[in-house]
C-alpha cells in the first residue's frame, strides 16, 4: 500500500468536519473553562500551573522519543523563562534547549509560521546533540524510514518523501498551515490534528520531528483559541503511546483521515481533563499549606511538595522511611519522627506495618 504522500491527490486530506461537531464543542467549552479558571487565580498560582504544564510537555515529549531529561534542569529552565524563583540553575544544555524551544513556541503562538521559525525551534532543540545537523532540512540520500525490530529483521512502519523534495513539500505545508489558521471555517482541534499528521508525514528534519510536530499542533491550537495552551499534548500522547503510533501509522497510509482526527481530538480532551485536575489540585495545595504550613518543618514541606507534584498520577508506592531519607538527607531516627508527626497531624495515613509501612497523603 502506498504512503499518503505517494497518492496522486497528496496533500489533499479527506475528512467530514460535521462528524466531529460533538467532540469539537466539548473541546472548545473545556478550553474556555480552563482559561477562566486560570484568569481568576492569583498570578503566582497561575504561573505555577503554566510551569507545570510546560514541565509535563517537556518531560513527556522527550520521553516519547526515548530521551531522558533531568527533571530539575528542565523545571529550572522553565521557571527562569517564566520569571519564577529558581532553586538551582539548570546545567543540562539539552534540557535547557528543549524548555527554551517550548517557551519560544508559547511566546510566539500568534505569529505566522515560517521556515525561519521551524529552523529556530530545531536549532534550540537539537543544537546540543552531536552528529545532528540542526536548523536545516535533512539532506541525506538514504531513505528516511521509521523502523522497529531487530537489525536482521527490521520492520519499516513508514518511509517519508526523499530529502530532495523536502524543501518543496515544506513550502506547501507552511502555506497550507497559514491559510488554515487564518480562517475560522475549520475548528482548531481539526487543524491541529491535520497539521501534526501532515508534518510528520514529510518528516523534514534529520531528527526531532516528533517533538517539532507536537509543537506545531500546540501552535495551531493556541492560534485558534487565541491564547497559549493550558494543557500538555505530549503528556496525553505518552499515556497512549502505542495507540498514537498505531493511529499515526494508519493515517500515513491514506488521505481519508476521519479516524485519525477523531482519535487526536479525544486525546486533546483527555489532556484538558488532566489539566483541570491539576488546577483543582493547586487550589487544594494552597489551602493545605495555609492550614498546615506553620506546623511543618522544611523536611516535611519538601517531601509533601514532592508527593503533590506526582498527583493526579499519585506518588508511586506512597512514602516510606527509605524514600524520606533519600529526599531529605536526614537520619533514620529523624525520618521516623517526622513521619509520625505527619500521621498525628492527620496528613499521612499509614498503610501496612513494620519495615513495610508506607504512608499516603490524606488529600
The 3-state secondary structure of the chain, one letter per residue: CCCHHHCCCCCCCECCHHHHHHHHHHHHHHHHHHHHHHHCCCHHHHHHHHHHHHHHHHHHHHHHCCCCCCHHHHHHHHHHHCCCCCCCCCCCHHHHHHHHHHHHHHHCCCCCCCHHHHHHHHHHHHCCCCCCCCCCCCCCCCCCEEEEECCCCEEEEEECCCHHHHHHHHHHHHHHHHHHHHCCCCCHHHHHHHHHHHHHHHCCCCCCHHHHHHHHHHHHHHHHHCCCCCCCHHHHHHHCHHHHHHHHHHHCCCCECHHHHHHHHHHHHHHHHHHHHHHHHHHHHHHHHHHHHHHCCHHHHHHHHHHHHCCCCCCCCCECHHHHHHHHCCCHHHHHHHHHHHHHCCCEEEECCHHHCEEEECC
pLDDT at residue 316 in the model? 58
pLDDT at residue 312 in the model? 53
111-140 pLDDT, tens digit per residue, is 999 999 999 999 999 998 888 999 999 999
Bigger pLDDT: 287 or 204? 204
Mean pLDDT of 324-330: 94
pLDDT at residue 52 in the model? 87
- In the block, which residue shows the cell 505527619? 342
Does 308 have pLDDT greater than 80?
no
Domains and CATH numbers, the chain: 4-280 (1.10.3290.10), 296-361 (1.10.10.10)
The CA–CA distances, whole Å, from 260 to 3, 64, 186 equal 15, 19, 16
pLDDT at residue 109 in the model? 96
Euclidean distance between CA atoms 162 and 170, whole angstroms: 12
Contact present, 212 and 118 (Cβ < 8 Å): yes
Euclidean distance between CA atoms 154 and 80, whole angstroms: 43
pLDDT at residue 314 in the model? 54
Euclidean distance between CA atoms 155 and 112, whole angstroms: 38
pLDDT at residue 1 in the model? 72
Contact present, 106 and 55 (Cβ < 8 Å): no
Give Cβ neighbours of residue 153 (< 8 Å, ≥ 6 apart).
Answer: none
Which of 154-158, 282-286, 293-297 has maximum average pLDDT?
Answer: 293-297
Mean pLDDT of 199-218: 96
- In the block, which residue shows the cell 516535611? 300
Contact present, 38 and 46 (Cβ < 8 Å): yes
pLDDT at residue 247 in the model? 95
Residue 148: pLDDT band (50, 70, 90) is low
Mean pLDDT of 296-325: 80
Bigger pLDDT: 294 or 355? 294
Residue 293: pLDDT band (50, 70, 90) is confident
Residue 317: pLDDT band (50, 70, 90) is low
Q: What is the mean pLDDT of the chain?
A: 91
Does 286 have pLDDT greater than 90?
no
- Out of 120-124, 150-154, 302-306, 354-358, least confident range: 150-154
Contact present, 255 and 248 (Cβ < 8 Å): no
Residue 149: pLDDT band (50, 70, 90) is low
Query: pTM of whole model > 0.75?
Result: yes
59-115 pLDDT, tens digit per residue, is 999 999 888 888 889 989 999 998 888 878 888 899 999 999 999 999 999 999 999
Euclidean distance between CA atoms 94 and 74, whole angstroms: 9
Mean pLDDT of 203-230: 96
Taking only Cα atoms into account, the Rg of the chain, rounded to an integer number of angstroms, comes to 23
Amino acid at each position: 500500500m502506498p504512503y499518503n504522500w505517494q497518492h496522486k491527490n497528496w496533500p489533499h486530506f479527506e475528512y467530514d468536519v460535521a462528524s466531529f461537531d460533538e467532540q469539537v464543542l466539548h473541546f472548545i467549552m473545556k478550553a474556555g473553562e480552563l482559561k477562566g479558571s486560570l484568569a481568576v487565580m492569583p498570578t503566582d498560582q497561575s504561573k505555577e500551573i503554566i510551569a507545570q504544564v510546560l514541565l509535563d510537555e517537556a518531560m513527556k515529549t522527550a520521553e516519547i522519543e526515548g530521551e531522558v531529561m533531568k527533571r530539575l534542569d528542565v523545571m529550572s529552565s522553565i521557571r527562569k523563562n517564566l520569571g519564577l524563583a529558581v532553586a538551582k540553575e539548570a546545567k543540562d544544555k539539552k534540557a535547557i534547549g528543549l524548555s527554551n524551544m517550548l517557551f519560544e513556541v508559547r511566546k510566539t503562538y500568534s505569529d505566522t509560521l515560517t521556515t525561519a521559525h521551524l529552523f529556530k525551534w530545531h536549532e534550540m532543540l537539537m543544537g546540543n546533540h552531536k552528529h545532528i545537523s540542526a536548523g536545516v532540512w535533512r539532506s541525506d540520500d538514504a531513505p528516511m524510514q521509521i523502523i522497529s525490530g531487530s537489525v536482521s529483521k527490521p520492520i519499516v512502519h513508514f518511509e517519508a518523501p526523499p530529502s530532495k523534495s523536502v524543501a518543496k513539500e515544506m513550502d506547501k505545508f507552511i502555506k497550507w498551515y497559514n491559510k488554515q489558521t487564518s480562517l475560522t471555517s475549520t475548528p482548531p482541534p481539526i487543524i491541529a490534528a491535520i497539521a501534526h499528521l501532515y508534518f510528520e508525514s514529510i518528516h523534514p528534519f534529520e531528527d526531532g520531528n516528533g517533538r517539532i510536530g507536537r509543537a506545531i499542533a500546540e501552535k495551531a491550537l493556541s492560534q485558534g483559541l487565541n491564547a497559549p495552551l493550558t494543557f500538555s499534548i505530549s503528556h496525553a500522547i505518552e499515556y497512549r503511546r502505542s495507540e498514537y503510533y498505531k493511529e499515526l501509522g494508519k493515517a500515513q497510509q491514506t488521505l481519508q483521515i476521519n479516524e485519525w482526527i477523531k482519535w487526536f481530538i479525544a486525546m486533546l480532551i483527555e489532556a484538558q481533563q488532566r489539566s483541570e485536575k491539576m488546577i483543582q489540585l493547586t487550589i487544594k495545595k494552597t489551602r493545605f499549606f495555609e492550614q498546615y504550613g506553620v506546623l511543618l518543618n522544611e523536611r516535611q514541606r519538601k517531601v509533601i511538595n514532592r508527593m503533590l507534584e506526582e498527583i493526579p498520577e499519585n506518588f508511586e508506592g506512597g512514602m516510606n522511611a527509605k524514600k524520606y531519607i533519600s529526599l531529605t538527607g536526614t537520619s533514620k531516627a529523624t525520618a521516623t519522627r517526622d513521619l509520625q508527626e505527619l500521621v498525628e497531624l492527620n496528613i499521612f495515613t499509614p498503610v501496612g506495618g513494620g519495615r513495610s509501612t508506607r504512608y499516603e497523603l490524606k488529600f
